[in-house]
Structure 1
Amino acid sequence: MPEVLSQTKKLRIVKNNKIIDGKKVAQDIQKELKVEVEAWMKEGHRAPRLIAILVGEDPASKKYVENKMKAAREIGIKSETINLPDTTKESEVIKEINRLNADNSVDGILVQLPVPPHISERNVCNAVDPHKDVDGFHINNIGKLTNNMDTFVPATALGVIELIKRYKVPTFGKNVVVCGRSKNVGLPMALLLHSDAKYECPGYEATVTLCHRHTPPEELAFFARRADIIISATGVVNLIKPDMVKPGACVIDVGITRITTENGKSKLVGDVDFEGVSKVAGLITPVPGGVGPMTVAMLMFNTFKAAKSLTEGNNNKN
């Protein structure tokens, strides 16, 4: 399993406070990566390079990309955003991806999702060279993950795992409920948590129940009440309520939805009734400030991993 612990001499373990501070952990990881990147460059290597492709003018996507590029700069990763109009054809996006695939100075490529409706997310994700696929969305990398092989793990799933590790949440033999079956978040988390620890990409030996939008509410509540860890990534506001949570359970909220409050203000909320569930749970992530910053940090981790892997591969060719 690719992990920050393998790159750094010291892993900051977080004390078990009630609130899981994803922002603080992400900052720790970025500081650790900065040290590693600096050491890497002192050995004579060039700075890692990350390119993002943004199709269209979606405000949320633009903000996400800005956050990623800012984190890259702070760590010492060269970054660049290629902005394409929302009228860009799928073939033109893939042509741009192929150009970056062939550029040996580029280590990581990400296509910011969602893309406009006339473009297939699957086609553009599979066009990225798997060795530069720092999002971990290429079918080859997802396939490797199912077989416990070393690969790029999707950044959000990897971020959740890192929070579980750093807060020392037990997983061996524990019951985990993952709400959401997306191939980018829910499924990768379920794969990591349920699988055997003995392989190249070790799993976490939990008993995992994977629920989704067609799981009847009473069934979801039944499974959730028995879970030691609940991870929700559905985008359904207040899906996880206090009476669904076992006292002392760890609750990780991956969902993020912008709502309008009664006074007309905009607010970001997750899948979890934070106010109510926080009174029952042993550990809980807030929204914002929980999983979101971890996604960015682990994308940087994957970019540095790609740079090292590509450099090693090129050296082996010489």
Structure 2
Amino acid sequence: MLPYDDLLCTFFMLQIIIGTFGNGLLLYFNSFNIITGQRIRPIELIFINLVFSNFAVILLRGVPWIIHSCIQNFFLGDIECKIIIYFQRVTRGISMCSTCLLSFFQAIAISSCSPMWAEVKARAQKYIVPFCVFIWVLNLLIDVVVPLYVTGPRNSTNSNLFRNLGYCSVYRYAISTSKLVLWKSLYDALFVGLVAIASGYMVFVLYKHHWQVQHIHKTSVSPSSSPEIRATKVILFLMSVLVCFHSFSSFFIILMDNSKDTSLWMIHVSVVFSLCYPTVSPFLLISSASQIPNCFNAFKRMKKC
């Protein structure tokens, strides 16, 4: 048992507890209309999709590592490793794609009330369910080759053929893992870039509305106290969290792939960063969901779509 295993055990348990609570809270807020029999809003479907993918990421990554760090029991065989690693990749991709879809839907929702944007908003609401289904199908297909090169844990005598992932191993020569890692990194970068574009557009719209309201009311209220500025900070912070955690996680995955001997500390750091976003994001999304609509209530009363 390594000297820092107790610390890792505690840290992973905290991530699972906090992440489960945050995603449970987000699920409650967005499924309340379903429970009470009221009409569900389209954006709530995206939140629910994101919550389930976050739950899956936290459980599929966190629970095996808690067992590995706390109990030191290597309980997975080849089939179990293939299934768990595959769905770890799939749910991580779904979480990222759902965040991207949510960002674009929010960007469309707070756009101007011109006839063109009104039509876009109406169409966007109709395609929420097909887009959610597409996200699942896309990620299930993107990672379909993962089980080909994943096996159960292997001892050190086969280290030239297998790369240790902690409780599972990767067969180095089943397929070109370097090409796969590069492909997944580009795939992640694409959706992170789309989130950045949508977030940048929302920031632009919020600032534009902020200055319009200031001009109309000719107020001297401190800009930092306006709802637009608070919503902007939440959006930028959420985008920064997504970019930071996914970038660091991808960096360590690439680093491990290009290392002859995979150090256990690199695996631990990669797992920690991969769990940070599904753990932290629900709390930011709850804050974002309350800030963005509220800052436009007055504007919508003045200018109906």
TM-score, normalised with respect to structure 1: 0.31
Q: Which has the higher contact order (CA 8 A, sep 6+)?
A: 2
Tell which structure's C-alpha radius of gyration is larger: 2
Larger helix proportion, structure 1 or 2?
2
TM-score, normalised with respect to structure 2: 0.32
